[in-house]
Amino acid sequence: MSYTHITLDVGAAIKAFHVVWNNPGAWSDIIIHLGDFHAIMAFFAVIGHFVEGSGFKYVLFQAGLCSSGSITGVMSGKHYNRCWLLHKTFSEALERFFIEQYLPTMPEKVEEFAQSDTAQETSLTNILNDDTVKEYVKQCQTQKTKCLNGEFGKTPPSTGKNIWS
């Protein structure tokens, strides 16, 4: 059986869902999808619900990234552009914070390699294929897994899943 896939904006999709649901025999070969815009808004709403109570909104407010009046829109996923910016910024901040905490354990060889002229002249592919860098990345991933499993406290599992899962 072949299916017809239709992608609609949320307003039109609601009406189309009612038509399909009220006449399942006549429209059984129709599959209705929400457009990307509304699907991503729904994902942002899920992330907002997931990080509720983790201090996410207080961090955004205290950092001056979001006013108290627009926090609700960010947490509900309704402020699409602001959500993109804030989730991207927050994700980058958490990643940098993790790296800052983990960098003291970086092997000297990796640090020397990163600061050498060779690293600047070498392509990214060659750098990523270097055994020392591979080992460091593997150790970093192991550390992230420990962090997500709650070995360093209860906060990392709730906020870390936002960026590492």
The predicted pLDDT at position 15 comes to: 93
The predicted pLDDT at position 110 comes to: 66
Q: Give bridge partners of residue 4 from the DSSP assignment.
A: 30
Residue 82's nearest CA partner among 40, 35, 52 is 40
The predicted pLDDT at position 119 comes to: 57
| Chain centre to alpha carbon of residue 40 | 11
- Blockwise average pLDDT, block size 10, the chain, 165 residues: 87 90 89 87 90 84 88 90 89 82 68 68 71 81 82 64 53
The predicted pLDDT at position 129 comes to: 80
Exposure string over 61-75, b if 16+ CB within 10 A, otherwise e = eeeebbeeebbebbb
The predicted pLDDT at position 22 comes to: 93
The span from the CA of 109 to the CA of 92, in Å, is 25
Residues 6+ apart with CB under 8 A from 120: none
